[in-house]
Every structure is written in structure tokens, then in C-alpha cells.
Amino acid sequence: MIFGKEPADWEALKGLYTASEINRQPALWRETGAIIAGRRDEIAQFMANNITPETRIVLTGAGTSDYVGDTVVGALKQCLPCRVEAVATTDIVAAPEEYIESETPTILVSYARSGNSPESMGAYDLFQDQVSHLRQLVITCDVEGDLAQKAFKTENALVLLMPEESNDKGFAMTSSFSCMMMATLLIFDLDTLEENRRYLEILADQAEAFLTQRYGEIQQMVDYGCRRVVYLGSGFYGGFCQEMALKNLELTSGQILSFSESVMGFRHGPKSIINDETLVVVFVSGNAYTRQYDLDLIEEIHEDAGSHKLVAVTYNGPGDLAQRCDQLIDFKGAPVPEIFKVFNYMLVGQIFGLFDAIACGVTPDNPRPDGTVNRVVKGVTLHPYSK
């Protein structure tokens, strides 16, 4: 059974891949941890040889792969002695001169599910051609993908392959996103690898319980019948909220308008999106200072006139928060670092996107069977670049 349905039922709904890929994530996180532990010495040598205070680390990808970097960049800045930036491959390819520093020692970290998107190859090649002191780190889910195959043949590159099953067959990236994110947090903080793997176990256990016992709470969100959904978060949750909005937009084939913003930025115009058919989801920070701002906005939206719906997602959250929203989804468990809470929070958005797609009559494994939007991007022409 997956979310209360037999595999045959999911297959009939053309959602078996997506449902299975969301459901198997805890096991794949454990496998990712084992992969990193098995290559610890090799990775540590790569880091020791290439990370200095002068180094620039660029996290890059397209779409969901871009949001891996956007989600973890703040955490990496806290544990590394050098500059860390997240820049989409789509931005690099379109305007290389804005993002490439030819004389700065650089590690380009490329995220890719398949590694077959033109922009992934384009960004890789542009940095390879334009940066005099470059190391390439490719984190990908497909050993046969174009990016992995190219990196295997590049002298200055290291390839980290994610678990084979993380190469999602469904349209939307789910386990690929979470495994690449988990790998990043582990490899750039190897001194605390054992401790972080213990956090991984805590999260995996909690996720398994949520996936098997609490998916009905997500169906309740769908049953509100909202035609718009807004994801809000502060700090680490900013890039992550973009991914959650993308999941719902993709899986519902655009039938549900999906939007993301920071908690503090929401009042500055974007709040105009709220109408009587809007679901607002706030991922509440565990940081006591930041949480004050989250709770202020929750209180404000709760008091606003209208029939919009408000859901708060917390980790060991305030007990009285349920009185200030329509629904509280609280993960209970041992304390974990703030960035690691993303792994449980994201289950809410992923499952909601899946269930919302079914409610809209969309086939989750291929929401756009007309081919106008594809699992691997098509229609991109890479134009020659010379500086």
C-alpha cells in the first residue's frame, strides 16, 4: 500500500512512479548516507585540496536541481570558510559574463537528475573553458547521463552518484531532489558526518511514520478545494518553498496557481494573491528569533477577512498554534539542525502535489502528455560564447 492505495490503483491513475518515488525517500536517504561514508576519504581529499578562503563554490542546476542549491546555500555558508553561491544553469548559460570569474579558484557543483538537460552541459562547459583554476563536482542520479559521462572523462572532476532508485522516472523530481540535498549537507561537513547521519536516521524514521500514518492530513489540505496555493518560509526555507510551489504547479499541470515567497517579503505586494480560494502554507522556523516573524504573519493572515485557508507546518511547534490556523501539521521528535527539518517539511509539499493532481484529474507521472512540457527539457539551442 502507498498512501492507502494499492500499486495497481496508482498505476490506473498513472501516478505509480511519483507515489513510489515519494514513498521510498527515507530508505534512499539512508543509502545516500552510506554512499558518502563509503567515499569519505576520497571526498575529504578533494575538499582539502580545493577549498581555501579564496575559493568560490557555485551550486548550480536547473528547475528543481537549482532549488537544491538555493535550499542548502545558507547552511553551507555557515560551515565553510569560503564564498558559496547558488546560481541556476539557466542564468549562467544566458549571461555567462555575469556569473563566471575567470581568475577566481572555483568549484562548480552541478546538480542533475539525468544530466541530459542542455543547460547542465552548457554551464559545465562554460566554466571549464573560462575559469583558469576550476574543479568540477557533479552530483547526479544517472550514471549514464551526459553530464556524468562527460565528468568521468574530465581530469579535474569528481562525480558523486546518488542511489540508482533516486533517478525518478516520474515527471516531477522528488527523491532526486532530497538525495542530492542530503549528499550536499554531508559532503561539505565531513567532520560531523557520523552526527549528521544520526540526524538522518531520526528524520528517516519520522518520515516513514508520516508517509504511512499521516498522509490523511495532506488529503485534508486538498479537500479545502483551493485553486491557489502559497508556500512561505524564512531563512533556509526560502529556496525550499520555491521547490514546493514548483511541485504543485508541475503535478497539477498548472491548474492550481502555485506561488512562493519569504515570510517577510510576502506583505510587500505578493500578499495580493490571497483570495477566497487560496491555501497559504507557512513552514515555521525552529529558530526562536526568526519564528517570531513567522508567527506574526500567521496571526495576521488568520485574522484577515475571507475564506482562505491557512496551514502551519512545524517541528516540535508551539502548542497553541493550532488555534491560529485552519490546520497544524507538526513533526515531533528529537532536536535536529534547522536545515535538516526540510527533509520532513518537503513531504507535505510533495504529497500535496500528488494528491492535488489526482483531484484535478491530472496524471502525475506525465502531467503534460501533449509534450509541451517534458521531464528532460527540449527545444534549447546552446549558442557559441566567446569572451
**Rounded (10°) angle between helices 237-251 and 342-359:** 20
What pLDDT does residue 374 have?
60
Whether 372 shows a pLDDT value over 70: the answer reads: no
Mean pLDDT, the chain, whole residue set: 95
State the amino acid at position 385 in one-letter form.
Answer: Y
- How many Cα atoms within 13 Å fall on the side-chain side of residue 247? 30
Question: Is residue 110 within 8 Å of 124, Cβ to Cβ?
Answer: yes
Give the cell for residue 221: 489540505
Whether 349 shows a pLDDT value over 70: the answer reads: yes
Under the banding of pLDDT at 50, 70 and 90, the label for residue 117 is: confident
What pLDDT does residue 377 have?
65
Domains delineated in the chain: 7-201 (3.40.50.10490), 214-359 (3.40.50.10490)
Whether 357 shows a pLDDT value over 80: the answer reads: yes
Question: Comparing 315 with 117, which gets the higher pLDDT?
Answer: 315
Helices (H), 252-317: 288-303
C-alpha span between 349 and 22 (Å, rounded): 11
| Single pTM value for the model | 0.95
What pLDDT does residue 382 have?
80
Phi then psi for residue 254, to 5 deg, are 80, 5
What mean pLDDT comes out for the span 173-186?
98
Q: Which of 382, 65, 143 is nearest to 151 (CA)?
A: 143
Under the banding of pLDDT at 50, 70 and 90, the label for residue 238 is: confident
Separation in Å, CA 243 to CA 24, 67, 334: 19, 6, 26
pLDDT tens column, 161-174: 999 999 999 999 99
Q: Which of 237, 226, 224, 186 is nearest to 342 (CA)?
A: 237
Which value, to the nearest 10 degrees, does the dihedral of the CA atoms of residues 27, 30, 32, 38 take? -140
What pLDDT does residue 310 have?
98
State the amino acid at position 135 in one-letter form.
Answer: R
What mean pLDDT comes out for the span 97-123?
94
What pLDDT does residue 114 have?
86
Q: Which of 131, 93, 139, 85 is nearest to 115 (CA)?
A: 139
In percent, the amount of the chain with pLDDT more than 90 equals 91
What pLDDT does residue 322 have?
92
C-alpha span between 291 and 296 (Å, rounded): 8
Whether 82 shows a pLDDT value over 80: the answer reads: yes
What pLDDT does residue 378 have?
67
Whether 318 shows a pLDDT value over 90: the answer reads: no
Under the banding of pLDDT at 50, 70 and 90, the label for residue 122 is: very high
What pLDDT does residue 373 have?
63
What pLDDT does residue 135 have?
98
What pLDDT does residue 243 have?
97
Whether 225 shows a pLDDT value over 80: the answer reads: yes
Under the banding of pLDDT at 50, 70 and 90, the label for residue 239 is: confident
